[in-house]
């Protein structure tokens, strides 16, 4: 229950709580004390990170994720252009081998706008709810959403520019995402129009891939330019209500990324690559209450932190079953 409450609070924008020493388990305290006695030097840490970067494990989960994302979206394209009818529609609403599937946030927008509950939407959202309840909610963002992929590439350009001090990256309070979530819902309810669906880069890119490009891609390009020159991954971090919806679902999911305190040397590589680095505050020295801690539900399960961790301190786990390979 504490995991769910903390996850929902972080999704709403609250900063992760920082534990007092009295809140740490005896085993966690013992591990921290041992690390003080056997602290690695900066040179040792840098050598360990460099060795990991040279290994083949560096991009294992990223490559699996990119391949999955491309294949899922390619299925829609192939099904439409070759009239296979295996997958019909787009990511916002589709039919997969006869099963109706509807994006949870899109369905909410439609029901608020039209003030009417359609049976197909109930069926579609139920299917999707069960799917992402099992797979971890925001897993949708990193493993399926086409905008996530292009924003990830744009992020590399942003970090390159920041590294050369040509621009200065800006950040905003994460709570603004909740304001946008409520705002889009109210706009749908009051105007009778699904405003968010009109500007959602997820829907725009999905439809562009399947049915061909349109002027709406100019909006997606503007978002990417903003993220390159102003704020890293701004849409996903501070605006998109899809992430909020699936984050809430993910709070109840058995699939999580788990942090192991015993193996960690707190070098911080994981937080550098994370889209939502607040979920990795637990990796900061003194923040883990237990030896093993599940990352909160705002985690997108993208696997970047798992790939970059030189000590294997982060892993996918299915609660009650164990670690994924």
* Other Cβ atoms closer than 10 A to 21: 9
313: pLDDT strictly greater than 70? yes
**In angstroms, how far apart are the furthest CA atoms of the chain?**
65
Q: Which pairs from 53-60 meet CB under 8 Å and 24+ separation? A: 57/307, 58/307, 58/308, 59/307, 60/303, 60/306, 60/307
pLDDT band, very low/low/confident/very high, at 237 (cuts 50, 70, 90): very high
Share of the chain above pLDDT 90, in %: 54
47: pLDDT strictly greater than 70? no
pLDDT at 40: 67
Residues 6+ apart with CB under 8 A from 274: 280, 304, 305
Helices 217-229, 146-163: inter-axial angle, 10-degree rounding? 30
The residues facing 88 across adjacent strands are 95
The residues facing 322 across adjacent strands are 318
Q: pLDDT tens across 170-188, in order?
A: 999 999 999 999 999 999 9
56: pLDDT strictly greater than 80? no
Question: Could you give the residue ranges of the DSSP H alpha helices within 164-309?
Answer: 176-191, 195-199, 201-211, 217-229, 234, 241-250, 269-273, 304-308
pTM of the model: 0.89
88: pLDDT strictly greater than 90? no
pLDDT at 46: 66
Average model confidence (pLDDT) across the chain: 88
Output 15 or 116, whichever has higher pLDDT: 15
Domain residue extents for the chain: 1-12+20-70+139-325
Q: pLDDT tens across 249-275, in order?
A: 999 999 999 999 988 888 788 999 998
pLDDT at 82: 84
């Amino acid at each position: 229950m504490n995991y769910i409450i903390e996850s929902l609070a972080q999704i709403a924008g609250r900063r992760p709580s920082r534990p007092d020493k009295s809140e740490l388990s005896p085993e966690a305290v013992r591990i921290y004390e041992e690390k003080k006695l056997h602290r690695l030097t900066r040179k040792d840490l840098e050598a360990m990170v460099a060795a990991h970067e040279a290994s083949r494990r560096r991009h294992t989960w990223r490559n699996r994720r990119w391949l999955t994302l491309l294949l899922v979206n390619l299925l829609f394209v192939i099904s439409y252009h070759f009239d296979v009818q295996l997958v019909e529609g787009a990511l916002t609403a589709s039919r997969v081998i006869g099963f109706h599937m509807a994006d949870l946030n899109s369905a909410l927008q439609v029901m608020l706008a039209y003030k009417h509950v359609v049976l197909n939407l109930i069926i579609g959202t139920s299917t999707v709810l069960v799917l992402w309840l099992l797979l971890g909610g925001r897993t949708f963002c990193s493993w399926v959403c086409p905008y996530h992929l292009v924003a990830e590439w744009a992020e590399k350009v942003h970090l390159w520019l920041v590294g050369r001090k040509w621009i200065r990256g800006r950040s905003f309070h994460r709570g603004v995402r909740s304001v946008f979530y409520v705002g889009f819902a109210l706009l749908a309810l009051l105007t009778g129009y699904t405003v968010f669906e009109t500007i959602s880069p997820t829907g725009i890119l999905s439809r562009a891939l399947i049915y061909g490009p349109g002027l709406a891609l100019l909006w997606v390009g503007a978002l990417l330019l903003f993220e390159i020159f102003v704020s890293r991954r701004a849409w996903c971090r501070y605006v998109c209500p899809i992430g909020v919806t699936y984050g809430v679902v993910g709070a109840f999911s058995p699939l999580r990324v788990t942090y192991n305190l015993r193996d960690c040397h707190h070098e911080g590589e994981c937080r550098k690559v994370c889209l939502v680095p607040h979920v990795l505050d637990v990796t900061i020295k003194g923040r883990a209450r237990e030896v093993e801690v599940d990352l909160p539900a705002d985690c997108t399960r993208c696997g970047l932190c798992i790939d970059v961790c030189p000590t294997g301190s982060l892993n996918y786990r299915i609660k009650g079953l164990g670690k994924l390979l």
